[in-house]
Amino acid sequence: MNKGLIVAVLAGMPMLVDAATQTYLSDFIMNKQTSQAYHQLIAGHDFPSWVKQGGTSTPANTITIKGETWQLLSGCKPHNCPAQSIALLYSPEKGVIHGVYSDYDQKSERQTLTWLNLDPTDDAGMRKILFNRLNGDL
């Protein structure tokens, strides 16, 4: 076998391993440790069924806010991400979860945000991070 091919395959292995270990919203929802937190977060809201499964999502990011590590996750309505999406911040250390759900009416061009486990007195930085994730900025 060509030594150059072997080197190329071995060099690509870390990317394959990394892609296999990335967490998506659906993984987060199915995980025994995080599932309960997610379902409590969305409980009592009349969200579409895709929200319960995670919809279409991208890999989570790990970010630091005021010295604390958070997972930043998001998902959207399959085949129509601009219409509906959800973004989450989860602290694995504390088990705390925050989120925002967006419903965008394309006819009226009006966006309705439902803040989850955040109120107006909470950290504006968290709200900004979640809103930016809805728009794909993080």
The pLDDT value given to residue 120:
66
pLDDT in tens, 14-40: 444 444 478 999 999 999 989 999 999
The pLDDT value given to residue 48:
97
Strand positions, DSSP E, the chain: 56-57, 61-65, 68-76, 84-91, 96-105, 110-116
Give the domains, in start order, of the chain with CATH numbers: 23-134 (3.40.1420.10)
From CA 81, how far away is CA 14, in angstroms rounded?
Answer: 30
From CA 46, how far away is CA 48, in angstroms rounded?
Answer: 7
SS3 content of the chain, % helix, strand, coil (to 5): 40, 30, 35
